[in-house]
Amino acid sequence: MRTWKIAGCVLAGVLWLSGCTIVRQGEVGVRRTLGRLDDATINAGPRIYNPFITRIIKVETQTRNLEITLSLPSKEGLNVSTQISILYRVRPEMAPVVVEELGLDYERIAILSVFRSAAADVSAQYLARDMYTNGRGEIEHAIAERMQELLFDRGFEIEAVLLKSIDLPPNLFRAIEAKLEAEQEAQRMEFVLQQEQLEASRRQIEAEGIRESNKILSEGITEDLIRWQTIEAFRMLSTSPNAKIIITDGNSPILLEQ
């Protein structure tokens, strides 16, 4: 009898533990009772449920990083090998919809499928060199925007699409490198030319200023001014204690100081 009681207690404990679960931070729980999903989600924390008729399905809502290597078509018909990261997350309030419509394999069924289609549609509008140069950001944004349009209502938030590495055909890569070097050299020469033009303008302004100053001085020197300056010179010389010899014609003094 005692053995049966112990066995009963053990069985009750097992059943109780099987009806307990913990929903962790960064995920939500979706309750399925007799095959029917609840619309409300279960937030983080410990939960108790009836294991015979109920199951709590946990859905991760943190940002996930899906990396994929894909050959993208370009506008000129080339295939460009790229390594791409897709940052996305499940919208917590939409977790029941995701589980009901896609199941837990939603990454393969929805994210990858939509990405392949969106990436091919967008990349086909750009030249291969655009993926390597300053068009990369525009391509990333366009792919992410297209995926967001298709997946938001299905319960996903597309945060970013990042082209991490791009492998161009060797000949095209060398041509792009040569073009970039030529553009940089042209920009450098344009900068040098602008500096020379600025220096030439500065010199012209300086010369015009000197010429104008000389013109003003020459127009301001008159006979009366020279005569007045001579008188002032004589007056100052007369007050000096040093011995001096002044030779003058009455207009301009020549001073010999002893």
pLDDT of res. 48:
80
pLDDT of res. 247:
60
Summary mean pLDDT of the chain: 77
CA distance 232 to 228: 6
pLDDT of res. 15:
43
Q: Yes or no: say if 158 and 88 are a contact pair by the CB < 8 Å rule.
A: yes
User: pLDDT tens digit string along 9-39?
Assistant: 444 444 444 567 888 899 999 999 888 888 8
Structure tokens at 195: 């500096």
pLDDT of res. 74:
84
Q: Yes or no: say if 158 and 63 are a contact pair by the CB < 8 Å rule.
A: no
pLDDT of res. 252:
54
pLDDT of res. 147:
95
Please state the rounded mean pLDDT for residues 235-247: 64
Structure tokens at 16: 């109780």
pLDDT of res. 228:
63
Q: Which of 210, 136, 127 lies closest to 169 in space, CA to CA? A: 127
Higher pLDDT, 111 or 217: 111
Higher pLDDT, 134 or 243: 134
Model confidence band, residue 242 (pLDDT cutoffs 50, 70, 90): low
User: pLDDT tens digit string along 150-195?
Assistant: 999 999 999 999 988 877 666 555 555 556 555 665 666 676 667 7
Is pLDDT at 131 greater than 60 in this prediction? Answer: yes
Higher pLDDT, 210 or 156: 156
Is pLDDT at 249 greater than 70 in this prediction? Answer: no
- Is this structure's pTM higher than 0.85? no
Interaxial angle between packed helices 136-151 and 113-123, expressed in degrees from 0 to 180 and rounded to the nearest 10: 140
